[in-house]
Amino acid sequence: MSASGLFIAFEGGEGAGKSTQASILHDALQREGYCTTLLREPGSTNLGDYLREYLIGEQPVTSLAELLLFEASRAQLMTERIEPLLNDGAVVIADRFAGSTVAYQGYGRKIDLERIQWLNDYATGGRYPDLTILLDVDPQVGLGRVNSRQLQLPLLIADTGDRFEDEEIAFHNAVRQGFRDQEVRSATWCSVEGNHSIDDVAAAVWSRVCPLLADRVIAKLAEAEKG
């Protein structure tokens, strides 16, 4: 558990609705007066944004290099943003975190899980989310959502997907299993079915977050302004 603040991560496969739900939760917490920051992985630092371009692009990268670049982005995010925010008592919402590396690079790319765990521990300094919400969606449904989103974009900015979206369905099924196994093994993970309407999923997410807000001291906007 964090020494202070509250650290919440969203995990899930392609098209699971993480970014939508992370943003809804962020807005809801802000309305309640909490100091809340929404971050994404890879990204949310200069280095992370730079690495993201490469990591989700189509340039060749070996599985090992891919793993190490995700961890480099995480190490930077942890030190530059997450630790200071948590130490100030804020709520930090991460759109993906270390669980994605276990699922994608471990179960998807088949890199040794113990090595990944070691790297995750090293990059995070052992500080993991207080709550990880897995949005569980059948990969066929998730990829269908991604494709229909692409079709709605103007031709000039639409692209043909990215390194991970273009993987075979077997890869995405393995990734889903990777997330589900982590959820079963960890007391700080919970699973929310991502197949329902955005509002229903948001209500389910809120019901998981509320109990954590009650039993800790988290900075509120008014208090932060006073200080």
70 binding ligand TMP? (CB under 6 A): yes
CA 101 to chain centre: 10
CA pair distance 90, 170, nearest whole angstrom = 39
- Pick one of 37, 92, 96, 201: the residue that binds ligand TMP (CB under 6 A): 96
Q: 175 or 219, CB closer to ligand TMP? A: 175
Q: 26 or 35, CB closer to ligand TMP? A: 26
Q: 54 or 220, CB closer to ligand TMP? A: 54
CA 19 to chain centre: 8
Q: Are 134 and 11 in contact (CB under 8 A)?
A: yes
Q: 91 or 98, CB closer to ligand TMP? A: 98
Q: Which helix (H) or strand (E) holds 123?
A: helix 113-124
Given its phi and psi angles, is residue 73 left (phi above 0), alpha (psi -120 to 50 degrees) or beta?
alpha
Neighbours of 67 (CB within 10 A): 20
CB of 1 to ligand TMP, least distance (A): 22
Stretch that binds ligand TMP, among 93-101, 128-136, 140-148, 189-197 (CB under 6 A): 93-101
CB of 210 to ligand TMP, least distance (A): 25
CA pair distance 20, 199, nearest whole angstrom = 10
Q: Are 31 and 202 in contact (CB under 8 A)?
A: no
Stretch that binds ligand TMP, among 34-42, 77-85, 133-141, 181-189 (CB under 6 A): 34-42
- Pick one of 10, 34, 164, 171: the residue that binds ligand TMP (CB under 6 A): 164
Give the interface with ligand TMP as residue ranges (CB under 6 A).
14, 40-42, 56, 70, 95-96, 100-101, 104-105, 164
